[in-house]
Amino acid sequence: MMKKGAILLNSARGGIIDEDALLEALDSGQIGGAGLDVFVGEPVPRAQLLNHPNVSVSPHIGASTNEAQSRIGAELAHGMIEFFQK
């Protein structure tokens, strides 16, 4: 339903985009390009997407904020405490 030649960006979740349909749309020219930092097959994305000439990829760093790292550390510490208290 997108305008022919549109650029698609996805930095939310890998499963939002049907990767097969995206590749078809890129190859046919329906989608002019894509910018992706999330994939269905993480941590090893599909080679066809990584190597496609009309796809730009970047690392997904959404969890790299100070708040996210602090929360992850607290969750890990809590899990370890629970494990050793059993």
For residue 36, is it within any domain? yes
How confident is the model over 38-79, as pLDDT tens digits?
999 887 889 999 999 999 998 777 667 788 788 888 999 999
Q: Which domain holds residue 12?
A: 6-85
pLDDT over 90 for what percent of the chain?
63
Residue 60 lies in a domain: yes
Cβ proximity of 8 and 31 under 8 Å: yes
Residue linked to tokens 């904020």: 65
Mean pLDDT calculated for residue range 19-32? 97
Residue 13: active-site member? yes
pTM for the full model?
A: 0.69
Q: Is residue 19 part of a domain?
A: yes
Contact 30, 7 (CB under 8 A): no
The pLDDT of residue 62 is: 64
Does 1 fall in a domain?
no
Residue 79 domain-assigned (yes or no): yes
Give catalytic status of residue 60 as yes or no: yes
Catalytic residue among 19, 46, 52, 60: 60
| Structural domains counted in the chain | 1
